[in-house]
Each structure stands twice: as structure tokens, then as C-alpha cells.
Structure 1
Amino acid sequence: MYRIGIGYDVHRLEEGYRLVIGGVEIPYPKGLKGHSDADVLVHAICDAILGALSLGDIGEHFPDSDDRFRGISSLILLKEVNRIVNENGYRVVNVDSTVVAQRPKLSPYKEEMRKNISEVLGISINSVSVKATTTEGLGFEGREEGISAQAVALLKKL
């Protein structure tokens, strides 16, 4: 039996924050504002995986009202989501994702992002796709007000 889930996340870009995407800290004058490290890519993947099993979303499992998650690496949250998946008798087969950002250019970091995600999920790097695109200057991403990410995850019953 297979299950598919989709995830979407957005965070605002602001000065004074680190820019972490896919577990990679990217040098940039602005970072993503959030309770954790605000890693939009990993958050979208977490939501896709949780959604595949109808287990809610990242905010339900790791609420921003809980100080235990303040500043936490989203890769730690992904590891916990993967544990929940395994406890429910499933495993992640593959993940496909897209980050939408006008800047910075993410191409130099995509392989490291794939590696981080695949290692946490315990799957082959060839089972993790990370794509990046701009919006040609349109919308909040194009105005560099924020960054969004979308993900799809396929899970298989063990």
C-alpha cells in the first residue's frame, strides 16, 4: 500500500535571521523568520510526509508555542517525523520538492540539501529531488519578501 502527501510552507525574509534551506546555511543578508530555523523546504517535506498518513501538519506536532522548538534545526523535526512514519508501519520512498525564491541563487546548494534530507530519512539521495525556481519578479517571492517551498512525498507500507 502506498500513500502520497503534499506540503507547502512560506516564511518571511528579514534581516537579523539566518537563511537555512534544506539544512544548509546560505550566506545572504536576510534570513527566514520563524520559531525554529524556519527551513521552508524541510517544513514542506514534513507536511507532505505527515499529510500522506493523515497525521496533521508540522504545527500540530511542533507548535510555535512550545519553547523546546525555538531555534531548533528543522532536520531534527524531520527526523522525528520519519520516526512517526516508521512507528505507523511506513517508510518514505521518495520526495520531490521545489523552493521558490527570487534570490539567492540556490543551485550551488541543492546537492547538499538532497544529501541532508536523504540522510535524515534513511533513503538514497537519488530518491530526493530538490528543485529551485524564481517567479520572474512576481508575487511576494519575486519582491524578495519571503521564500516558499512545495513538496510531495510517497510512502510505502512496510
Structure 2
Amino acid sequence: MSIRIGMGYDVHQLAEGYKLWIGGIEIPYEKGSVGHSDGDVLIHAICDALLGALNLRDIGYHFPDTDPELKGIDSKILLQKTMEIIRNEGYDLGNLDSTICLQQPKINPVIPEMQNTLARVMNVDRSKVSIKATTTEKLGFVGEGKGISAYATVLLVVSS
């Protein structure tokens, strides 16, 4: 069996006046992610992991923030398109393991909804989508509430 492993990382500034999208769902909060798209840090890290596993560069290469047509785009669309790219290369998702780093708000209660949303968008079984959340114990830009980051690792397997 041929397998490929990819790792992705993304970070976004948090600011008032923006919506907070994480894992394909909107989370009510006083600050949101600043970005060219909807700023979904988790989906962006997942896209980078998927593309990186097949040496296909990164999300910015495929969906540049200089493209006015992508301004404000729903990141779920970017994830769907990324999965199309992966499947066109003959691979599918074996599993995804991800971590969201955010001081506030607490998101553990909505992780199952994120898993369901991402599984649906990626057209995979929910059991293949792992999402964890952590704080940085008030250290650094995340701990100070200035930003959010996410890590994603994927295992890709040859499509059957």
C-alpha cells in the first residue's frame, strides 16, 4: 500500500469586526479571524497538510490571497477543491489529526459539530477526522488573545 503523510500549520490574527470560523462552523465570539477568505485557520492547515503530502505546494499557491474572486470565500469550498485535487492524483484520506490553539473561547463543546462538518465536506467517515483543542497557558500571541493557530497531519492512501 502506498501512503503519503502531510503536515500543515496556519495562523490568523484575531480582531473585532470579523467572524470566527473554525472547522467549517461559525463560533460566536467578540473577535474573529482576519483573513482574505473567511479566515478558517483549521481548514487552511488541513488544506496545507493534504497538498503537502503529495508535494503539491500549499494553499496560497492554489488559492492565492491576491485573487479578488476568493475574497471572503467560505473555506469549506477551498477544502472541497483541495480534496478534488487529492483524489485526481489517485489518493484519498486515510485519517486526519489536528490541533487548534486558542485561548478563548473554549471550543471543546463544538468539536463534534466540526468533525461532522469536515467529514461531510471531505466526503469521508467522521471516524477519520480527529480534532483537539488546547490553550497556550496565556503565553505568546495565542495566549494573549491576539491570534489563533492550528496544526494538521494527514495520512493519504491510494484510492481503491
1:111 aligned residue: 112
Q: Determine whether 1:126 maps to 2:127.
A: yes
2:4 aligned residue: 3
2:153 aligned residue: 152
In structure 1, the gaps of 5 or more residues are none
Q: How many aligned residue pairs are there?
A: 158
Shift of 1:108: 1.4
1:29 aligned residue: 30
TM-score normalised by structure 1 residue count:
0.99
TM-score normalised by structure 2 residue count:
0.97
Q: Determine whether 1:74 maps to 2:48.
A: no
2:142 aligned residue: 141
Identity over aligned residues, as a percent?
Answer: 55
Shift of 1:67: 1.0
> Within 2, Cα distance between the matches of 1:154 and 1:61?
20
Q: Report the RMSD for the aligned CA atoms in angstroms.
A: 0.6
Does the residue aligned with 2:46 lie in a helix, a strand or coil?
Answer: helix
> Within 1, Cα distance between the matches of 2:8 and 2:89?
19
The one-letter amino acid of 1:124's match is D
1:39 aligned residue: 40
In structure 2, the gaps of 5 or more residues are none
Does the residue aligned with 1:84 lie in a helix, a strand or coil?
Answer: helix
The one-letter amino acid of 1:50's match is L
Runs of 4+ in 1 over 3 A off after TM superposition: none
The one-letter amino acid of 1:85's match is I
